[in-house]
């Protein structure tokens, strides 16, 4: 969900507001389009690739061990933090400019 939310934040703050959609073929403003489908497909593919090695470790273990956090999860945590900063500090200023 973090990667999809990042795409939505990027769409709303950069692509839609600055008119970059004019240079993106098959992009539809405010509608689900090929760009959204490709981001969704890449996100699902990354999720499957990151979970696949964890499913192969089905051997008997005597002690429960904590698995190391995958790189994809670390990236998702960092992006979630950045999304939170954008929502708290960028969008209120944009809303003030639009509403007043």
Q: What is the mean pLDDT of each run of 10 residues along the chain (100 residues)?
A: 82 84 87 88 84 64 65 81 78 62
* pLDDT score of 20: 86
Using alpha carbons, select from 14, 40, 11 the residue that is nearest to residue 27: 11
Whether residue 5 contacts residue 40, with contact meaning beta carbons closer than 8 Å, is answered with no
Rounded to 5°, the CA angle 19-88-20 comes to 10
CA 29 to CA 97: how far, in whole Å? 21
* pLDDT score of 30: 81
What does the DSSP 8-state code read for residue 2? H
Whether residue 6 contacts residue 80, with contact meaning beta carbons closer than 8 Å, is answered with no
* pLDDT score of 87: 75
* Backbone Cα Rg of the chain: 18
* pLDDT score of 100: 60
* pLDDT score of 56: 63
pTM (global) more than 0.85: no
* pLDDT score of 57: 60
CA 12 to CA 9: how far, in whole Å? 5
Using alpha carbons, select from 33, 38, 3, 2 the residue that is nearest to residue 16: 33
* pLDDT score of 94: 59
């Amino acid at each position: 969900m973090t990667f999809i939310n990042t795409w939505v934040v990027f769409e709303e703050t950069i692509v839609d507001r600055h008119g970059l959609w004019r240079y993106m073929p098959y992009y539809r403003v405010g509608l689900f389009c090929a760009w959204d489908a490709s981001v969704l497909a890449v996100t699902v593919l990354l999720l499957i690739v990151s979970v696949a090695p964890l499913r192969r470790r089905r051997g008997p273990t005597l002690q429960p061990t904590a698995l190391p956090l995958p790189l994809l999860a670390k990236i998702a945590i960092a992006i979630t933090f950045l999304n939170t900063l954008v929502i708290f500090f960028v969008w209120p200023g944009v809303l003030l400019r639009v509403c007043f």
